[in-house]
Amino acid sequence: MRSPARLLLQLIIVISFILASMQATAGSQPPDPGGTPVGGGPPVGGGAPVGSGTVILIVAATAYGLYKTKALLRNKLTKASEKL
């Protein structure tokens, strides 16, 4: 079991890294090059659909999380039944 002071220190370190990375990426936008863009071709990537990939990723992550939760609960139940 970890001491509360150690957990607090770890939490402060994690939060500081998150805030530092947010500050580093919060730069200003580059200036507008001016003029009108040329070209009338299709967008880069051919207009690939991103939405369906996101749904697939969310479903896969949810299924994996449920699988891991079920395995964890099963492990806890078998350990509890062994103690009896």
Is 11 contained in some domain? Answer: no
Q: DSSP of the chain, one letter per residue?
A: ---HHHHHHHHHHHHHHHHHHHHHT-PPPPPP--S-----SPPTTSS---HHHHHHHHHHHHHHHHHHHHHHHHHHHHHHHHH-
Q: Residue 39: what pLDDT?
A: 67
pTM value is 0.41
User: For residues 28 and 30, what is the distance between their CA atoms, to the nearest angstrom?
Assistant: 7
pLDDT beyond 90 at 60: yes
Domain boundaries, position 84: 52-84
Is 45 contained in some domain? Answer: no
User: For residues 15 and 12, what is the distance between their CA atoms, to the nearest angstrom?
Assistant: 5
The total number of structural domains in the chain stands at 1
Is 77 contained in some domain? Answer: yes
pLDDT in tens, 3-59: 888 889 999 999 998 888 877 777 767 777 776 666 666 666 666 666 677 888 899
